[in-house]
């Protein structure tokens, strides 16, 4: 379950990106693995966030070159935070 704080100063999409980044960093979601789908993340957050918020979190991780979307397949981890070399999904 992903617990986000609606009352926090940090936007919900940033909170979600932080949780996913931590999961990547600690190896819970290893390089090459698909992230949970938007629908799965919506369930994991208990419906606390919209799909738009989830998409924004994934876009933030993609901008950091941690994940990459593959049309029709999902979003995959391509690097751990702090990795100098980026892999491919």
pLDDT digits (tens, 9 = 90+) for 31-83: 999 999 999 999 999 999 999 999 999 999 999 999 999 999 999 999 988 87
CATH T-level topology, domain 12-77: Arc Repressor Mutant, subunit A (1.10.10)
> Can you tell me the distance from the alpha carbon of 56 to that of 71, in angstroms, rounded to the nearest whole number?
17
> Can you tell me the distance from the alpha carbon of 41 to that of 36, in angstroms, rounded to the nearest whole number?
6
Task: Grade residue 84 by pLDDT with cuts at 50, 70 and 90.
Answer: low
**CA angle, corner 66, sides to 80 and 21, nearest 5?**
70
Task: Please state the pTM of the whole predicted model.
Answer: 0.89
Structural domain boundaries of the chain? Answer: 12-77
Q: Give the DSSP letter of residue 51.
A: H
CA atoms within a 13 Å half-sphere pointing along the CA-CB vector of 34:
11
């Amino acid at each position: 379950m992903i617990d986000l704080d609606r009352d926090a100063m940090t936007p919900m999409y940033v909170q979600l990106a932080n949780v996913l980044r931590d999961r990547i960093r600690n190896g819970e979601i290893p390089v090459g693995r698909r992230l949970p789908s938007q629908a799965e993340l919506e369930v994991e957050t208990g419906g606390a966030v919209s799909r738009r918020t989830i998409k924004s979190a994934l876009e933030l991780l993609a901008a950091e070159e941690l994940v990459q979307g593959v049309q029709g397949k999902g979003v995959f981890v391509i690097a751990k935070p702090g990795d100098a070399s980026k892999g491919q999904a």
